[in-house]
Structure 1
């Protein structure tokens, strides 16, 4: 067990970290004004948006980058001094201090080549591989497209109509969350200040008031934004000592998005088009990383069947923080990259008989690389069990069975199966 005075110090230092990172709003700092979209379509999608470093510098950040970096460095020194260089708490919180400093540096470098380089350090690159000799993220996306293309081309799996107005969607999603997350108070509200269709905060989910939703999309938002993003935030806030687990560093963002995508799939909420959308994000990032400009990526998105608004939104996601002819912001790799990392961790935990460890994925916003450290801290009473646990993690028997069978079935040769069963499927 850890001595109480060290636990008290950990709580105080953790609260300092939460306070220091509070003004950092990456997406607010890098998003483009709506006028950029309007101007792009006024020019009939023939002219690159007028975005440069000066455009970003005109945005007020709400903090002094140099002072914040210095404060984070001082906090890291204080953590080491008070808790010790080798303490697992120090390991966890020092990583957060380092990543937040890199985030601040990335924000400072908006509109310059360094922005992309720091983005790669934090979120990865489309050419990254999980193990030597294995497919890159770009190649994995290509492999996923093959089965998806057949599913998307069939009339047997039509997409549900987007026929629910935003105000009605708020009421419907609120009812769903009240039923499935009764342990927490989660509020759903309208917003006209978000670029995406929806976004999650610490205790609320915002829906874009200019968007219509399908019931399937609301089901996905319930588990993705509600069960995972809001749920893990609230679990982090309820930690007795490491309240900083309520805030997501970039490496934790990768885990978060991967866990959310896995949850969509396990609960049967996801669809082929939803997965294709995540794969296309990797395609767009990879294309920009190879030197394609905004218009080239936009046109490629149109060629993939997106309408003009969808194509612009995805392309904007890739180039936000950068320039329309610069290298991309790579955060959108997090969904598939995180899915693979979380899936593999769960598989190994099941095979090693450590399935009881898996709810720790929900104790806050964690990075996969910190899982062993978190397990150690849980064993000595520093990290508490998650307060809110989604249904599929409350009873792990179904999850364990599904993943075990999936691993077993994955050993079959698909080419041989296709040959054997071709005559049965006409």
Structure 2
């Protein structure tokens, strides 16, 4: 029996989408660029006075785990077949072709580990600290400096909650929260890991906790919101897509939206705090320093001057230079946090102002990018994309979110300098 045209069309998209998902599977950026423990041990053995000996020869000892030439050819074939089978202007095809091109650029970047091209390609994929949000607007560096000044005024008067929760207990607490958040996907796992730089990291259906990290309850709330209700939720929502399965996997262009949503969630659920915001702004400032010619020692000392412990300063500096050399251009992925927050907030603000509230939950239907949101709305209407199964509470309640955004939009138009003058006698 002949398959209906609409069903045949869906089968073609699903087939191409599955091929794209399979093609990118071996490409693991963070695994390819991270430094091993021997680099840290040597740095401290030399009393933090010498640049880490990280160069193309060092990375050559760390195999990528895939054949770059073969992967490029696979992605090129998929891109060609997308055009042949869907045409040049098909909306789904345009998204998938862009993903093919991004993944090929990622391959170029990891092939250039330790070389000048690594940092240049990173800037193409993730942006630069000197990027402006819009013509004439402040840059990411300007935003980082402005936030740093505000945080300096806050100081440490709020106190710091002691970190007394070890990794095993943190795993148990977060596992219980994930089981409650994703009752239909009880396979979401929380476990300890020795192989991550950050205190925690999320994958498609798991959260890894660094074995030697300590936490407090605020940390765990933030991890549940950031890693669980955004990164894991969007992965699961993408996995539940019956046709556009590519939404389960995020190319670099989706990183900005993903991290922007995660930081926005931290803020509107009151999970964030000044020290957390300082960590994000310091990452932006450190990348700007490296882009301006600073080397690993300069960035390490920047963190020490900001009051970070020696081990933390090394970890943060290594985030900046991973994949590069110790005096090369930085890996700029960490710009996505502040950049994504501003861009995603502006998108939601505009959606509320224009009365297009139905667009907002689609941010969670998978690993989305802001530039695809209009297209995703059309694909939902056509039945090619299904709405997200899991939505965090602030985004599930559009009444409350839109009210919050309306007030926020009005307050943004007030002059803070004028308010400061008016309130001088009472504050």
Q: What is the total number of aligned residue pairs between the two structures?
A: 423
Residues 1:17 and 2:39 are matched in the alignment: no
Counterpart mapping for 1:4-403 below 5 A: 4-151=7-154, 153-155=155-157, 157-185=158-186, 186-403=188-405
Q: Distance in 2 between matches of 1:341 and 1:65?
A: 33
Give the match's secondary structure for 2:66: coil
The 3-state SS of whatever aligns with 2:424 is helix
In 1, distance between residues paired with 2:356 and 2:302? 44
Q: Which whole-Å deviations, capped at 9, do the CAs of 1:269-321 have from their partners, x for residues lacking one?
A: 00011011111000000000000010011101111111111111111000000
Q: CA deviation at 1:60?
A: 1.5
Task: Tell whether the 8 Å contact from 1:92 to 1:373 is kept in structure 2 after alignment.
Answer: no
Residue 409 (structure 2) aligns with = 407
Q: For 1:117 and 1:318, locate their aligned partners in 2 and report how far apart those are by CA, in whole Å.
A: 14
Does the Cα contact within 8 Å between 1:287 and 1:297 map onto a contact in 2? Answer: yes
Which ranges of 4 or more aligned residues in structure 1 deviate by more than 3 Å?
none
Q: TM-score, normalised by structure 1?
A: 0.97
The CA distance in 2 between the partners of 1:180 and 1:400, in whole Å, is 23
Aligned CA-pair RMSD = 1.2
Alpha-carbon distance in 1 for matches of 2:239, 2:196: 24
Q: Distance in 2 between matches of 1:352 and 1:216?
A: 35
Distance in 2 separating the partners of 1:389 and 1:285: 33
Shift, 1:178, TM fit: 2.3
- How many Å apart are 1:330 and its aligned residue? 0.5
Distance in 2 (CA, whole Å) between partners of 1:67 and 1:24 is: 12
CA distance in structure 1 between the partners assigned to 2:314 and 2:156 by the alignment: 26
Q: Do the aligned partners of residues 44 and 179 (structure 1) sit closer, same or farther apart at CA in structure 2, a change above 3 Å counting?
A: same
Give 2:418's aligned residue: 416
* 1:184 and 1:388 in contact (8 A); partners too: no
Return the offset for 1:83: 1.1
Q: Is the contact between residue 2 and residue 380 of structure 1 (CA under 8 Å) also seen in structure 2?
A: no
Distance 1:109 1:356 in 2: 42
SS in 1 for 2:201: strand
- 1:254 positional shift: 1.0
Counterparts of 1:424 and 1:88 in 2: how far apart (Å)?
56
- Give deviations 1:205-225, integer Å, cap 9, x for gaps: 010011111111110100100
C-alpha distance in 2, partners of 1:180/1:22? 27
Taking the aligned partners of 2:366 and 2:150, their CA distance within structure 1 comes to 34
Distance in structure 1 (CA, Å) of the matches to 2:405 and 2:242: 33
Are the structure 2 counterparts of residues 352 and 44 from structure 1 closer, same or farther at C-alpha, using a change threshold of 3 Å? same
What are the superposed Cα offsets for residues 35-94 of structure 1, whole Å, 9 maximum, x if unpaired?
111111111110100100011111121110011011101100001111111110111101
Q: CA deviation at 1:181?
A: 3.2
Shift of 1:184: 2.8
Matched position secondary structure for 1:194:
coil
Deviation at 1:165, TM superposition (A): 0.6
Gapped regions of structure 1 (runs ≥ 5): none
Tell me how far 1:2 sits from its aligned partner: 7.6
1:247-270 deviation digits (Å, cap 9, x = unpaired):
010010111000000000010100
Q: State how far apart, in whole Å, the 1-side matches of 2:258 and 2:310 are.
A: 29
